[in-house]
Amino acid sequence: MQTRLAELSDAPAITALINAAFSVEWFFLESDRITLAEVQTKFSSGQFLLLQDSDALAACVYLEPKGERAYLGLLSVDPLRQKQGLSRRLMDAAEHHCRTTGRRFIDLTIVNLREELPGYYRHLGYVECGTSPFTPGIHTTRPCHFINMSKELC
């Protein structure tokens, strides 16, 4: 399995992967997590880091530089490949990439309704640093908000 930066031509596969991985959120969202156009737009402000083998794309994560910080989002692992350590491997690669490009901190947000996520990110060294409103304009079937987390890169 190799890690590489995505190219715009990867956008359809990235879109499909994110939507498959985020299908667990259908208990509060009534639509796909992201569209192809939204993925394509993200290439103008950041990068996708991919984990793939000869068969297909296994995982991806979005990284957006913001001065000495980076925003990390859309961590997605193919549902058929989950529980194999791929998210940890990709997170390690994302942190390494951020360090080598001069970032000192990584910030991320998780939906409070995904109760399994705070513990996962805490285990990786991220700390909670507040909350923020859920994305405006996206209809949810349950009230929710974001939990903000951050990690200083050593």
d(C-alpha 147, C-alpha 141), whole Å: 18
Q: What is the mean predicted confidence (pLDDT) over 113-125?
A: 96
pLDDT recorded at residue 54: 85
CB 122 within 8 A of CB 94: no
Q: What is the mean predicted confidence (pLDDT) over 130-139?
A: 92
d(C-alpha 135, C-alpha 7), whole Å: 26
* Total of domains in the chain: 1
Give the E-state strand segments of 23-112 in sequence order: 47-52, 57-66, 69-77, 105-111
CATH number at residue 86: 3.40.630.30
pLDDT recorded at residue 148: 98
pLDDT digits (tens, 9 = 90+) for 62-104: 999 999 999 999 999 999 999 999 999 999 999 999 999 999 9
- What residues make up the domain containing 117? 2-152
Q: Give yes or no for residue 55 having a pLDDT over 80.
A: no
- Phi first, then psi, for residue 99 (nearest 5°) are -60, -45
d(C-alpha 62, C-alpha 42), whole Å: 8
Alpha helices in 43-147 (DSSP H): 86-100, 117-123
